[in-house]
Amino acid sequence: MRRKLVVGNWKMHGSRVANEPLLAAIAQGRPYACDVAVCAPFLYIAEVAVAFAGGDLRWGAQDCSVHEQGAYTGEVSAAMLAEFGCRYVIVGHSERRQYHQESDQLVADKAKAALAKGVTPIVCVGESLAQREAGQTDDVVKRQLSAVIHTLAHCAGEMVVAYEPVWAIGTGRTATPEQAQDVHALLRAQLHAATPHAAQMKILYGGSVKADNAASLFAQPDIDGGLIGGASLKANDFIAICRAAG
């Protein structure tokens, strides 16, 4: 049985004043019956590390460079994330694919760079509304995942996958549990063909997960938890989602 994982994606939200009570509330909500992590903006990672120190809560980043080090102004390497205790890094979020023109191969290279430093990549895949309506969902997510599988090769079993339909992110419109499960099953089958570890791998769902819809999503056989955007900024909501995964 796979242990569930709930990851908060703060995106570009937060402030030192707002972070402190949010992190304290999440820490005070322990114990959780699932794994829990927060992926904060780079500048706040050290603050999360202090707030979560000494417990079983994890933290991470929302992006990393493909490069190890060098003249890459503005970039942050996977080694730097590891130095600050990051367990996870989100790569290929649809906002980065859309606003920063990240290609499938760049996302795969970032996942490889993260794994090389011991940071688990949470690889996001997902179709746009137009692609879903055109019946292209399966092809799109398979193409996105395929690039990562080929680049990671024998290490593919070490990533976490997140299915995030673009039309459900931040829109309040969630995929139904059945819609999400269909895509998760497809992704699991693709992983099975690529790695002997597929049955143990976590595939998270993301896209307007809230306290009141989390349990039905997490009850699906191939949904192993959630990547949570907006609701991860409200302590009570995020804790309730973590409880729904327990």
β-strands 160-163, 120-125: how paired? parallel
C-alpha 85: how far from chain center: 17
Nearer to ligand PEP, 124 or 194 (CB): 124
Q: How far is the CB of 9 from ligand PEP (least distance, A)?
A: 4
Tell me the angle at which helices 137-152 and 177-192 cross, rounded to the nearest 10 degrees: 40
Nearer to ligand PEP, 34 or 227 (CB): 227
Question: Using CB atoms, what's the residue nearest to ligand PEP?
Answer: 229
Asked whether 29 and 76 are in contact (CB, 8 A), the reply is no
- Per-residue binder mask for ligand PEP (CB under 6 A), 205-244, x = binder: -xxxx-----------------xxxxx-------------
Q: How far is the CB of 171 from ligand PEP (least distance, A)?
A: 7
Count CB atoms within 10 A of the CB of residue 48.
29
Nearer to ligand PEP, 62 or 195 (CB): 62
Helix ranges (DSSP H) in the chain: 16-28, 45-52, 78-83, 94-99, 104-116, 129-133, 137-152, 177-192, 214-218, 235-244
Asked whether 119 and 81 are in contact (CB, 8 A), the reply is yes
Nearer to ligand PEP, 166 or 194 (CB): 166
Touching ligand PEP, residues 160-199 (CB under 6 A): 164, 169-170
To the query of whether residue 93 is one of the catalytic residues in this protein, the response is yes
Q: How far is the CB of 8 from ligand PEP (least distance, A)?
A: 9
Could you tell me which residues come within 8 angstroms of residue 88 by beta carbon, excluding any fewer than 6 positions away? 7, 37, 39, 58, 59, 60, 61, 119, 120, 121, 122, 160
Can you give the C-alpha Rg of the chain in angstroms? Answer: 17
Q: Which of 93, 95, 102, 184 is catalytic?
A: 93
Residue 60 as a binder of ligand PEP (CB under 6 A): the answer is no
Nearer to ligand PEP, 103 or 171 (CB): 171
Asked whether 125 and 163 are in contact (CB, 8 A), the reply is yes
To the query of whether residue 102 is one of the catalytic residues in this protein, the response is no
Q: How far is the CB of 233 from ligand PEP (least distance, A)?
A: 9
Q: List residues binding ligand PEP (CB under 6 A).
A: 9, 11, 164, 169-170, 206-209, 227-231
Which residues are marked as active site? Answer: 93, 164
